[in-house]
Amino acid sequence: MKKHLALLLLAAACLAMSPRPPDAQAAEPSTYFGATRVIVTQAHVSTSTEIRAFVPTGTLNEHCLVTLAESTFPVAGMTVFCAPREPAELGKGVLISIFHPVELPAEFLHVLTIFQEGALRYGAPVFCGVLGC
């Protein structure tokens, strides 16, 4: 009896400690991918104060999050957004837009943490200047 109780308690502890999505009902464990880091640079500049980078994820799920992790050009007032997009010839994924209150320098680097619910993968960010961005 004690052996069965100990095994039951061990199994319950293992189950409680196993990784799972923050909201198990919103995302099935088989489709949960997690977050990743991406780097955007001057290669993703749209205007002198705007960055537009597309990250292929394989889904158009509207639930996405993006945060600024590190930067060589941090400026008070930077604003970052993410939104699902399917630009021509780039597939399904997330468009990341960063708006700066001042002009960008010739060289900079922003490290971002992104998450999109249901993402199948996180591809390398590319400049998003095509139809659909």
Compute the average pLDDT of residues 94-122: 97
Look up residue 83 and give its two tokens.
């939104």
Residue extents of the structural domains in the chain: 27-127
Structure tokens at 70: 């590190």
Q: What is the pLDDT of residues 48-91, one digit of tens each?
A: 999 999 999 999 999 999 999 999 999 999 999 999 999 999 99
Write the CB contacts of 84 (distance below 8 Å, at least 6 apart in sequence): 59, 60, 61, 62, 64, 92, 93, 94, 95, 116
Tens of pLDDT along 15-56? Answer: 444 444 444 344 444 455 699 999 999 999 999 999 999 999
Closest CA to 44 of 99, 86, 85, 102: 99
Report pLDDT for 43. 97
Q: How many other CB atoms sit within 10 Å of the CB of residue 75?
A: 12
SS3 14: helix
Alpha-carbon torsion angle 104, 108, 109, 112, nearest 10: -10
Q: What pLDDT shows up at residue 31?
A: 52
Residue 78: other Cβ atoms inside 10 A: 17
